[in-house]
Structure formats: structure tokens, C-alpha cells
Structure 1
């Protein structure tokens, strides 16, 4: 049987390789733009809605800048983007997580991760859901910067992992109420998951939030107080 030429290179279809290469280039371009250390122009169209939702959920002193930085890290403010693992939309919810949030918070309506309005409301609500369930184990209160780091770690990898990581830190003699320099160093996650999860709050809180504050987005910086 005679095979076309493109089937003879490395025993595979060159056209398929071209499609894969194009997808990788496209995704790398998204990652570069989405992670750029400046406020994308596309963020402006969502600023008013995000401000309204954050202040409704957290009060007038809620940090719009923190949530804006989180969207920046998640999707680069691209409402219809998919990640290679299947996360969807502005807030990069996995479909099962989006369905779960819609189930426990029916006032949000049916899961619609590609809808910017739904994604913003669900992300802000889920952040609040995680943070409200954090409790200090020894200190009277959690410092704001640590509380937000725990919250973002939970958003990225699941709140259950945060509790397990805190327990590991406590058992090792570290302070389970302090993320930075303490809990952040303890986990039984896979090494790749550990790297991604620890990068997530550090990137958002220490690198991106100051950029949004400087650009005039409302709300305080929890790690500068």
C-alpha cells in the first residue's frame, strides 16, 4: 500500500503535527499575554461589573484589585478561553466545579463559565466561600495576607488540600496560621501541583495586586497592610 508523503515523516501525519504545533503556539501566546505584568486593555470592560459584585459580596471595602489580579492570572481576561485540562472562561472553572457552585448557590443561576457575568459572580462567591471557612488554629485571627494566600491556594487546588497542608505544617512545628514561610512549604501534593499551587497566590498577591492598585482599581492590598 502506498502511503502519502506526510505519513512517512516520523511515522505520523505532518498535517496533524501542524495542527498540534499551531495549538501550542496559540496557547503559549495566551499564556504570555495573560501573565503579562500589566493591566490588559480588555480588563476595562469588566471593571464596573467586578467592582459591583465584589462590593456586594464583601462590602464597600472589598478588594476589587485582588479579584482583578486573580482573573488576570486565571485567563488574562479572556472570557471564552479553554485551558489544556478543560478549565473554562474568565475564572477558569472546571465544569464539575462550576456545576457544584451553581448547585450550592442557586441564586447564581445555572452554571455558565463562559458568561463573564456568571464567572465573575461565581469566582467572587467561591473566594468568599473558602475564606469564610478558614479559622485560626492558634492565633486570635489570621493576618489578611495569609488568609488570602490560603484562599487562593484553595481556589487553585481545592480547600481540602489547604487543611491537609496546615496539618502537616503544624505537625512539623511550623505555624499553621501563617502561609508565608510556613504552610507554603508543606504538602503531599505531586511536585508539579505543588509548584503550580505555590506560584498561584505569590503571583497574584505579591506581583499582580500592586499593579492593579497602581492602575487605580479600588480596594486595598492585603499584603501591604
Structure 2
């Protein structure tokens, strides 16, 4: 997954490219999550992943708006008939894949509240669900990701730990506020 530290939220703006995908993201999010889908969260996640560049490619092989690795794209392609084409460079496929995978992860993590639950789901999207479970088993507060459990290194490289710990923070505490006009946020 792409990792960017970014500038403070007040210095950022919604990329022009994002606007052409707003309706698609909202439609796909509501299809999977319901009418109260946290669209602002998903928009913030795409912002973090690719800055809304459809042709984004990471040095490790992640592709498209949602930065799917080839193996994850193949796996998620089996979860939904609309994803069977396995086309991470297609914007509609990427956005449907992102909200589908986020929902799958969200349904598998436990937390003290929905904000922390989304933080764990985002950490899992970025670094893997197994690492989230290992962090939770090692934590004195396993239901709190932000600033607590997600700061525990379960045995990954220091660089990957820094990226994975910052990923939910950047999305939920920085980028999400850019997209409040798009829909609900996960964290108030």
C-alpha cells in the first residue's frame, strides 16, 4: 500500500480527480454498507492510497485507486460478481473492491466503538488482519487502536510498523475531514 505522511489537513484540498469518482464511491459504499455508509472515510482512504490517481502503481506492485496487490485483487474478485473481472486499474472495480474489503475486515474486528473498529479495519487493509489480531492479543486495551494497540509492533519491520500505525490516523484524523461533504465519517 502507498504510504504518505502528507501535509497538515488544512494545507490539503480534495484532488480534482476525486470529483469524477464521488458518485461511484457513494453508490458502491451504500450498496455494501447501507445508506449510512461512512463515505467520507472511504474517500479519505482512497486519498491516502493513491491521491485519486487511477493509474497509481506502488513500488511493491499495488495498483489503482485502492492500491490492491494482485493476490488480494484475485481473492476479493471471488467475493462479489461485480469484482470477478479482477481489474484494480478500473475505477469502479477499485472502489467496489475497497468498500467490499473494508466491510469484510470491519465485520471481523472487535473494538470499543465504531471509530476504533474502523481504525482496526483500516490497519488490516494496510498491513493484514493477522497483525491486527496479534496486536490485540498483546494489548492491555485490545479495543483501542488509535494511539494504543496499533502502536504495538507484533514482529514486523520498523518501517512497516510506522506505516501501518500511521495509516488509520492519517485517514481518520486528517484526510477524513476533507470529505465531510461527501457523507458520514467513521470518527466524529
TM-score, structure 2 length as denominator? Answer: 0.90
Alpha-carbon offset, residue 107 of structure 1: 4.2
Q: Is the counterpart of residue 179 in structure 1 residue 145 in structure 2?
A: yes
Contact 2:110–2:117 (CA<8 Å) still a contact in 1?
no
* Gap change, CA 1:31 and 1:80, over 3 Å in 2: farther
Alpha-carbon offset, residue 31 of structure 1: 8.9
Number of the residue aligned with 1:3: none
TM-score, structure 1 length as denominator? Answer: 0.76
Alpha-carbon offset, residue 180 of structure 1: 2.2
Alpha-carbon offset, residue 148 of structure 1: 0.8
Q: Is the counterpart of residue 153 in structure 1 residue 123 in structure 2?
A: yes
Moved over 3 A (4+): 30-33, 104-107
Aligned pairs for 1:84-103 within 5 A: 84-103=59-78
Alpha-carbon offset, residue 106 of structure 1: 3.8
Alignment partners' CA distance in 2, 1:122 and 1:207: 23
Alignment partners' CA distance in 2, 1:90 and 1:96: 16
Higher relative contact order (CA 8 A, sep 6+): 2
- One of 141, 165, 183 as aligned partner of 1:198: 165
Alignment partners' CA distance in 1, 2:163 and 2:151: 13
C-alpha deviations, 1:88-121, integer Å up to 9, x for none? Answer: 0110001111011112334422210000010000
Q: In angstroms, what is the RMSD of aligned CA positions? A: 1.9
1:133 aligned counterpart, secondary structure: coil
Alignment partners' CA distance in 1, 2:158 and 2:42: 27
- One of 127, 133, 157 as aligned partner of 1:163: 133
Number of the residue aligned with 2:178: 211
Q: Is the counterpart of residue 39 in structure 1 residue 14 in structure 2?
A: yes
Aligned length: 182
Alpha-carbon offset, residue 37 of structure 1: 2.2
Q: Is the counterpart of residue 222 in structure 1 residue 182 in structure 2?
A: no
Alignment partners' CA distance in 2, 1:124 and 1:50: 8
Runs of 5+ unmatched residues, structure 2 = none
Number of the residue aligned with 2:34: 59
* Gap change, CA 1:166 and 1:212, over 3 Å in 2: same
Alignment partners' CA distance in 2, 1:53 and 1:121: 5
